[in-house]
Amino acid sequence: MDTSFRKLACVTVTYQPDPMALKAQLQALPADSLKIVVDNASAAECVEMLVGLEMTVPNLHLLRNADNLGLGAALNQGVRAARKFDPEIEFVLLLDQDSEPLPGSIKALLFTFASMESSGRAVGAVGPLLRDAATGLTHGFHQCTRWRWKRVYPSNADQASIPCANLNGSGTLMRIKQFLELGGLREDFFIDHVDTEWSFRLLAHGLELWGVPQALFLHSMGQASIKYWLFCWRIWPSRAPARHYFLFRNAVRLILDRNVLTVWKFWAVLKLCLTAFVHALFDHARVEQLHNMARGVRDGFLGEQP
């Protein structure tokens, strides 16, 4: 067993998790890594399942919240708990409940981080290539030029790491000391764009983000994923109206944030408009969807909570 895993904490946030998906994730994590599951007030049957996993999965600790604190707050809670459980922890891997690392992926993340640092690079975080569990397509990595925000789609067989302008939160690996020194994730964002804000904060501190194609995670984006063609096959996440409230509110907050790249703000506005247009035309719950999007925009400008 690779002893470096003993300095790794894996933090997963759960809310009404799928038992099979969560079990697959926990079994895929290195046996001698520290595992923290933070549950955000799931139903009693889910909590019973989580307690059972705590008893059977090596080095797993379950933290239970009486209320749903949101993704950012729960991840912060898990990282702080990891430091208390083991002060020798050096790295933290942040995970959604529906992500599963494939064999060798976590080792590839750790190796890439160490290699980058040894070459003198100021590494903030590295992240895996995410493959959508529903469609089989990868989400790619975010990059930007002066005028364009884009995704690149490397093969899982590619050895070269990809410089990124943003990393998806699930599967992100970073040093725990740096995470705590920068104040952790923004808890008021609750769920959507928590990872986006964190990525831009790392960049603002002169730190680099790298995608690691040979690290492959199965991952679900949104409540469902729609496969569509636009010059190549792409994925459109389908979200509930409540999720669109947070997506639009937090996007507006990022647009008002001076740490966020201008090119991202431009493309974010276009994507918000496209999202509203698609749901207005094709969503049977269009009235509720548009209402929540509009509330999100309003509260984003006003700085209000739901």
Report residue 165 as tokens.
Answer: 């302008």
Interhelix angle 44-56/19-28, rounded to 10 degrees, is 20
Instruction: Give the pLDDT confidence score for residue 75 in this predicted structure.
Output: 98
Provide the mean pLDDT of the chain: 92
Report if residue 233 sits inside a domain.
no
| Number of domains the chain contains | 2
DSSP letters spanning 239-263: --HHHHHHHHHHHHHHHT-TTS-HH
Report if residue 174 sits inside a domain.
yes
Report if residue 201 sits inside a domain.
yes
Task: Please write the tens of the pLDDT for every residue from 259-296.
Answer: 899 999 999 999 999 899 888 887 888 999 999 999 99
Report if residue 225 sits inside a domain.
no
Task: Please write the tens of the pLDDT for every residue from 73-103.
Answer: 999 999 999 999 999 999 999 999 999 999 9
Average pLDDT score over residue span 296-306: 87
Task: Please write the tens of the pLDDT for every residue from 18-40.
Answer: 999 999 999 999 999 999 999 99
Question: Looking at per-residue confidence, does 222 or 122 come out higher?
Answer: 122
Check whether residue 205 and residue 271 sit in a common domain: no
Check whether residue 280 and residue 196 sit in a common domain: no
Pick from 274, 149, 260, 147: nearest CA to 203? 260
Choose the final residue of a domain: 174, 189, 219. Answer: 219
Choose the final residue of a domain: 219, 252, 276. Answer: 219
Instruction: Give the pLDDT confidence score for residue 224 in this predicted structure.
Output: 58
- pTM higher than 0.85, yes or no? yes
Check whether residue 21 and residue 167 sit in a common domain: yes
Check whether residue 96 and residue 16 sit in a common domain: yes
Check whether residue 25 and residue 81 sit in a common domain: yes
Separation between Cα atoms, residue 200 and residue 177, nearest integer Å = 18
* 200, 193 Cβ separation under 8 angstroms: no
Task: Please write the tens of the pLDDT for every residue from 106-125.
Answer: 999 999 999 999 999 999 99
Pick from 158, 159, 154, 156: nearest CA to 142? 154
Instruction: Give the pLDDT confidence score for residue 1 in this predicted structure.
Output: 41
Check whether residue 169 and residue 243 sit in a common domain: no
Report if residue 234 sits inside a domain.
no
Average pLDDT score over residue span 151-178: 95
Range of the domain at 255: 239-302
Q: 102: which DSSP letter?
A: P
Please list the alpha-helical segments (H only) found in the chain: 19-28, 44-56, 71-85, 105-118, 176-181, 194-204, 241-255, 262-282, 286-302
3-state helix, strand, coil in the chain (%, to 5): 40, 25, 30
Buried b (16+ CB within 10 A) or exposed e, 92-103: bbbbbbbbbbbe
Q: Give the least confident one: 28-37, 100-109, 164-173, 213-222.
A: 213-222
